[in-house]
A and B are shown apart, each in its own frame.
Chain A
Amino acid sequence: MFYAPETAPIDLPTFKSTISLPYTLTPGKSAGTFLAEMPNRRIVGTRFADGAVIAPGQDFSPVDGEEPVALVQAPETGELTAFTRTGGVVLGLVRLDGCRNAFVHKILADIYTLAVGQRVAARWSTSEQGTSITAIEGFVPAPDAPVGNVLPLDTPAEPLGVINYAMALHYDHAYGPYYGRMFDEIRQNGVVMGVRGSNADEALLPPREIDDITHKRTGTWKACADTGTIRACSLINMEVYGQTRPVPYAYAEIVLDGASTKMIHIIEIDDLETAKQTIKPGTRVRAVWTQGERKGAVSDIERFEVIGE
Chain B
Amino acid sequence: MGREVGIVGVGQTHHARRRTDVSQAGLVREAVDRALADANLSMDDIDTVVIATGPVLFAAVNQPEKWVVDAIGAQGKSVVRLTSGGGAGFAGALAGYYQVAGGYSDRTLVVAYDKLSEGQLQYSISTLYDPFWGREFAVGIMGFSAAYWRARMDVLGHTEEAAAMVAAKNRNNALKNPYAHQKKAVTVEDVLASKPLCWPIKLLDVPPISDGAAAIVLASDKVAHHSTTRPAWIRGMAYCCEADNAPERSLMLSEPLAIASRQVYRAAGITNPRRQFDVVEVQEPYSCFELNYYESLGLCPPGQAADLVASGATQVDGDIPVNPSGGCMGANPIGAVGVIRLIEAATQVMGRNETHQIKDAKLALVQSGGGWANLRGCAVLSA
Contact = CB atoms under 8 A, between A and B. Distances in A.
B22 A64 contact: no
B118 A59 contact: no
Interface string A83-95: 0000000000000
Interface in A187-236: 197, 200, 202, 204-206, 212-213, 231-236
Contacts of B118: 23-26
B243 A212 contact: yes
Contacts of A265: 137
A264 B126 contact: no
Interface stretch (B71-79, B168-176, B314-322): B71-79
B197 A64 contact: no
Nearest to A242: B123
Contacts of A243: 139
A66 interface: yes
A202 B247 contact: yes
How many A residues are at the interface, by size bracket? 35 or more
B75 A65 contact: yes
Given A60-B71, A298-B136, A235 B251 contact: no
Contact of B59 (A25, A27, A237): A25
B24 A251 contact: no
B150 to A, nearest CB: 6
B378 to A, nearest CB: 24
B199 A235 contact: yes
Contacts of A235: 146, 196, 198-199
A183 B132 CA distance: 9
B143 A234 contact: yes
Nearest to B197: A238
A59 B23 contact: yes
Contact of B57 (A15, A19, A28, A173): A19
B147 A232 contact: yes
A179 interface: yes
A278 interface: no
A260 interface: yes
B19 interface: yes
A66 B43 CA distance: 11
A244 B135 CA distance: 12
Instruction: Give the interface centre of B73, B115, B122, B139 by most chain A CB atoms within 10 Å.
Output: B139
A251 B200 CA distance: 12
Interface string A278-289: 001110000000
B243 A28 contact: no
22 contacts: A19-B57, A21-B60, A23-B59, A23-B60, A59-B22, A59-B23, A59-B71, A60-B26, A165-B60, A206-B130, A206-B245, A213-B247, A231-B151, A232-B147, A232-B151, A234-B145, A234-B149, A235-B198, A251-B143, A280-B150, A280-B154, A298-B134
Interface of A: 15, 17, 19, 21-29, 31, 58-66, 161-162, 165, 167, 171, 173, 175, 179, 183, 197, 200, 202, 204-206, 212-213, 231-238, 240-244, 251-253, 260-266, 272, 276, 280-282, 297-299
For the complex of A and B, the 8 pairs showing the least CB-CB separation, nearest first, are A65-B73, A161-B20, A234-B146, A28-B23, A212-B246, A232-B147, A260-B247, A264-B134
Given A261-B247, A280-B154, 20 more contacts: A25-B60, A26-B118, A31-B23, A60-B25, A60-B72, A62-B70, A65-B71, A65-B73, A197-B247, A213-B243, A213-B247, A234-B147, A237-B196, A238-B198, A241-B123, A242-B123, A251-B144, A264-B129, A264-B137, A266-B137
